[in-house]
Each structure stands twice: as structure tokens, then as C-alpha cells.
Amino acid sequence: MKKGKILVIDDNEDVLLALNLLLKSHVEQVRVSTDPGRIEHFINTFDPDVILLDMNFNRDAISGQEGLFWLEKIKKIDPDIVVIFITAYADMDKAIQAIKAGATDFIPKPWEKEKLLATIFSAIELHNSKIEVRLLRQQISVLAAPAVNGKDEIIGGSSVMLNVFDTIEKLRNTDANILILGENGTGKDLIAREIHRKSPRKEKIFVALDLGSISESLFESELFGYKKGAFTDAYHDKPGRLEVAAGGTLFLDEIGNLSFSMQMKLLTAIEKREIIPLGSTHPVPIDVRFISATNVNIREMVADKKFRQDLLYRINTIEIHIPPLRERENDVLLLAEHFLARFKRKYNKKLRGITKEAKAKLQNYQWPGNVRELEHTMERAVILADKAILGADNFIFTPAAAATKKTREEFNLNKLEQEAIERAFRQAEGNISVAAELLGITRYALYRKMEKLGI
């Protein structure tokens, strides 16, 4: 199969004709020109792998300085392009000078056909290797970056989490796109990494992109990449996350934040399995497994025309729901012990455990921030601990969130409000200002609720 795009720049039209006839039957595409001033145009529109460049143009017949001048220009535009000099005035000094300046090889005129073709094929392979190295460097930089939470443990023994683990096991030999649903702090990123580790792509890279942390203007360049000169400050080519994740998994966190227009571009990339970087006209094939996650009700967004239904179909071949911590039975204590062990090592604290009262307090708390909040709570408690055992007073929660674990199905809303107000008054010993503060509302709002409920 033909491969490689060759640009030939020479002031001799007979040379251009001969090289065009020779090369077009051996390589993918050929462009020729007598004007070296058009090199930048060809680089931006044709994107050559190899440039055959004459060393001597009309202004300078034998010194080769013009060729070296244009070589420098080419390397500034794209250092990965392979340049081979061709000249009728070949000597060893010029060859050495050309190689030192960044040329890959030096071909004298007239050329030997077989040697010329062998040189060009080697140059194409060299260019492909440079592209692979650049991509590997991008992948290494991604791998060197810390994980989303810097950890990779998934702790859980509750029945709902065992169901999640069972689903992950069933996905072990599949390459299906996954949608992970769950509240903030439930560990969707850890589940995504576990799915990748147990997939056929486990030896390849895992790339994460938090769509909630990048602006719409940056989304396209982050996902699809860009070519040098595509916009201001684009001083070099940069592969996007879809290209960096080649052969591996791309985790799109908070996909519900993606604008409607960007959803269409993502859908096109998934369907066509190719992307076009900003500033380029040439599609780049992609081989990526998509795992997406969101904390919003994605189906409500579809109903409200805020999320494309066809994109939803593409990203959720399999759907996994991560339960909030308040629904995970005894996992609170399991996780608390796990975080205690970690943080007492980290901060060199000699802590023996958690009292029964503290455990009850942890279990009765609603954990609106889920596992992430529990982790931060345990870290804070360990840092501030001045006794060998963590007690209830080591765990301080915001009054508005520190409700006991009673589900909404047990009470209607009015009864919940009434019980909360009565509990606040008991704790505040009848002081209405303190009760309002405990409830997280103003005194005026509390008066209105009391009047409505007949308290």
C-alpha cells in the first residue's frame, strides 16, 4: 500500500517532472513547486511527511546557502518534517553542513532511482517514528500526571457495591462504551479506572478529561488537538486527548457539562472513528474506548433538549449507577477504617481506632459529599487528634447536613420539617435564633415555617 506525502521544491521544471512521474507510483501523494516561498503554504495545506529540497536556487548557483535558509524556515514551522537535500553540486563539506543544519540526507543529481526510492522510504518511516515519539511523550506526560484523586482503591462490602463490582467483572472482555452515573464524590473516576484495568485495553493508556473544568473554547483543542498556527499561541502541533489515548481508554468526566454544539462534534468523532485537529484538513483515525460519567440526570437533560439523545445512545452501551454513601449500609465504617490507616501513616500518628460513639456518629451522618467528604473528614480528624482514639468530638459536621439516616419514603415533607424544627428547638433550648442557625435558615423563614406547620 502506498504511503507517505512528498513535497519537492526545485527551480528546475524538468527535475520536478521526472520526480513527480517517478514518485507518484510509489507514494501516497506528491506535490511539486519551483517556488520555495510556497513551502509554508504546502506545509499548512498538504502536510508533507518528507520534503525534497534543492540546495541551490536562481539567486545562488553553487553555495547551497539558499537551501540552508529554507531548511531553517521549515524546521521552525514543523521540526518533525524530514528534509532531504538534492543538488547537482554535491561535495562532502556541503553534505556535512546540511546534516548539521537539520537535513536527514543528501542526494546528488543525477540520482540513482533505487537509491533515491530507498532514501525516501526510509525518510517516511523516520517521519512516522517522530510522530509516534511525539505521541508517546504526550502519553507519558498524561501518565506522569497524578490520578484524579491520587489513589486507586475501591473499598466496599455493601450489597449495592458488590453489584457494581459484579457488573465490572462482566465487562472484563468487552470494549463497550460505558456511562457511569452517580453523585459527586462517589468515586466514578475510580470505577472508570477499574473498568480499564480489567479490559482488553489494560496494557494501553488511560486518559481522563474533566469536562467540567475546561471552557467550551478549550474543549475542541483539548479533545481534538491542533496544528501549529491554528490560532494565536499555537506555536507547535499538539495532539488532542483522543489521539493521545490511541489504543486505550478515554474517560470523559462530567459529560453533562458539554455544550450542545460540542456534543455534536463528539458524536461525529465517535461515529466516524476519526478526528480533524484544529487548523488541519486531514482526518486522523482514532481507536479509543469511551467511558463517560456525570452527576446530573442525563435523561432529564435529553427531555429538556439539553443533551443529544443520539450521543446518549453512543456513550451508554452499558450503564453503571454508583450509589451514594448513605445507601451503602456499613461501608461508612469500612471506609473510615481504611482512611484512618492511610492518614495515620501519612501524618505519623499513633492512633488505635475509633470509639463506638464516634462510629455511631459517622453512620448517622448523611454524607452529602459522599466518599470524598468522608475522606476529608477522616484526614482532618487524624491531623487534629490529640488522643490515641478518635472520639465523637473529633468529627464536626455542618448542622444543616447532619441529619439522621431516615429515607424520604418514611415521612412526608411537612412531617420532616416539623421534626427538624422541633429537634432544633430542643438542641437550642428554646432559643429561636440558635434554632434558625442550626437549621440553616433565617429567623423570619423559621417563623413562617412554624406558622405553616402550626408549631
As a whole number of angstroms, the distance between CA 151 and CA 186 comes to 14
Q: Is the dihedral of CA 382, 386, 391, 392 positive or negative?
A: negative
Tell me which residue of 287, 261, 263, 285 sits closest to 274, measured CA to CA. Answer: 285
pTM of the model: 0.64
Alpha helix (H) residue ranges in 347-369: 356-364
Cβ–Cβ under 8 Å, residues 237 and 279: no
Helices vs strands, H then E, count in the chain: 18, 16
Alpha helix (H) residue ranges in 181-254: 188-197, 216-224, 241-244
The one-letter code for the residue type at 179 is L
For the CA atoms of 329, 331, 337, 340, the dihedral, rounded to the nearest 10 degrees, stands at: -120
CA 99 to chain CA centroid, nearest Å: 39
DSSP class of 438 = H
Written as nine digits, the cell of 144 is 506522569
Supply the DSSP string of 283-333, one letter for each residue: -EE---EEEEEESS-HHHHHHTTSS-HHHHHHH-SEEEEPPPGGGSTTHHH
Written as nine digits, the cell of 361 is 456518629
Q: Would you state the pLDDT for residue 58?
A: 61
Determine the longest span between alpha carbons in the chain, in angstroms.
Answer: 103
Characterize 169-193 residue by residue with b for buried, 16 or more Cβ atoms within 10 angstroms of its Cβ, and e for exposed: eebeeeeebbbbbbbebbbbbbbbb
Written as nine digits, the cell of 334 is 469500612
DSSP H or E run through 177:
none
| Under-50 pLDDT residues of the chain | 60, 144-151, 403-411
Cβ–Cβ under 8 Å, residues 19 and 32: yes
As a whole number of angstroms, the distance between CA 425 and CA 439 comes to 10
Per-residue pLDDT tens for 35-52? Answer: 989 999 998 888 899 999
Q: Would you state the pLDDT for residue 138?
A: 64
**Cα separations (Å) of 173 from 167, 205, 291, 313?**
12, 17, 15, 21
Q: Would you state the pLDDT for residue 406?
A: 45
Q: Would you state the pLDDT for residue 420?
A: 82
As a whole number of angstroms, the distance between CA 86 and CA 109 comes to 7
Per the omega criterion (within 30 degrees of 0), is the bond before 285 cis?
no
Per-residue pLDDT tens for 56-72? Answer: 766 545 555 778 888 88
Could you give the angle at the alpha carbon of 353 between the alpha carbons of 351 and 357, nearest 5°? 130
Q: Would you state the pLDDT for residue 437?
A: 77
CA atoms within 13 A on the CB side of 441: 15
Tell me which residue of 257, 171, 154 sits closest to 213, measured CA to CA. Answer: 257
Domains and CATH numbers, the chain: 5-133 (3.40.50.2300), 160-323 (3.40.50.300), 326-394 (1.10.8.60), 408-453 (1.10.10)
Supply the DSSP string of 94-144, one letter for each residue: HHHHHHHHT-SEEEESSPPHHHHHHHHHHHHHHHHHHHHHHHHHHHHHHHH
DSSP H or E run through 154:
none
Written as nine digits, the cell of 15 is 527535475
Q: Would you state the pLDDT for residue 146?
A: 46
Task: Determine the 3-state secondary structure of 390 from DSSP.
Answer: strand
First CA to last CA across the chain, in angstroms?
84
Task: Determine the 3-state secondary structure of 253 from DSSP.
Answer: strand
